[in-house]
Amino acid sequence: MLLYFVAVYASFDPNEICGLLSNGTRIKDPRACNAWITCIDGAPHAGTCPDNLFYDRNTYTCVNSSSIKCISSNPCASLNNESGFAADPYACNGYYYCNKGSGSHGECQSGFNFNPGTNDCIRGYPCALKMNPDSYCNILPDGVFIKDPTNCVGYQLCWKAQVLSRECPNGYYYNALKGDCDYPFNVECIETSSNLPDLPSSEYCNRTGVFVSDRNSCNGYYYCSNNDTAGIVLQHGICPTGRFFDGSNSGECVPRTNIICNYNRCVGLASDKIELVNETNDGCHGYTICQGGTSIGNGTCPDNGYFDELNQLCTNEVVNFPACATS
């Protein structure tokens, strides 16, 4: 037995999703089969295909409706204005009766699922839900990046019907408008992770537009940005591999051997091998043994030799890196 209810389609906010995509990206509108949206400067601009054509998200073209499977939050869209039944894309026991593009929603009784082949409710009918219409893999072309709204460094993409998550290298944020990793000061994103300090922003920043040490690591820093509501806001960043933060001259990331740092000098090193680093303020004679970003031991070069962090060896030639020179 089929029962009818008022149709309610899933929500899709093009303004929200366009704010996560690079300028000029075209996506499929999941509310219809023949529609697309172009994101320009973070705002959506809609377009539609001619009659009897559906939009193909991967080729950016309108194609014959019989040549592509449409997954829409409005299941009646796939019927091309014809009357008939369509399966609910969100529930195995749901269906719609469609008439001229709009539909009434119904549900099968308990224990029954809708069979789109016979347009009837069948007890125990096996059902494997199709892709969620609002999934990135039904909206984005394969390989197109979209910002992860939950963190500053993350982005995602769809590949072979799977949503993959990625992160920018240390020290960079994901810039949605550019569709690429960028310096934190070019990206409007407020870090909400545990990297934020307990002290108020004013304890770190006396003005905006500068970089300051995070006072917790050799390679960590904050960018002091201005927020109209919150005032000075700290955006946390990490220097690229092989560099430490130098707080002089408004702050920059420099080669790690060029800066004195009294925090853990093993930070940022590879986790799959052992590496040695110079020790601070010992005349460049000693070294720290690092693995996984932490110290696992110490040593001193024999015969009053010098340790060369760049070449990972003890030498009789004088080494005078600023990182290990005696103050």
pLDDT averaged over 10-residue windows placed end to end, the chain, 327 residues: 39 85 92 91 92 91 88 76 81 85 84 88 79 80 88 84 80 87 80 51 73 88 75 78 85 91 87 86 94 87 95 95 90
DSSP state of 139: H
What is the rounded distance in angstroms from the CA atom of residue 213 to the CA atom of residue 218? 8
CB 96 within 8 A of CB 75: yes
Tell me what pLDDT residue 314 has.
Answer: 96
Cα-atom radius of gyration of the chain, to the nearest Å?
29
Least Cα distance to 141 among 18, 57, 68, 48 occurs for 57
Residue 212 bridge partners (DSSP): 222
- φ/ψ region of 124 (left if φ > 0, alpha if ψ in -120 to 50, else beta) reads left
- φ/ψ region of 30 (left if φ > 0, alpha if ψ in -120 to 50, else beta) reads alpha
Tell me what pLDDT residue 214 has.
Answer: 87
What is the rounded distance in angstroms from the CA atom of residue 112 to the CA atom of residue 59? 38
Owner of token pair 């990297």: 195
Q: What is the pTM of this model?
A: 0.50
Which residue ranges make up each domain of the chain?
Answer: 14-138, 142-258, 265-327
Which residues contact residue 89 at a Cβ distance below 8 angstroms, ignoring those fewer than 6 apart? 71, 72, 73, 75, 129, 130, 132, 133
What is the rounded distance in angstroms from the CA atom of residue 76 to the CA atom of residue 88? 10
Q: Domain spanning 14-138 has what CATH number?
A: 2.170.140.10
Three-state SS at 77: helix
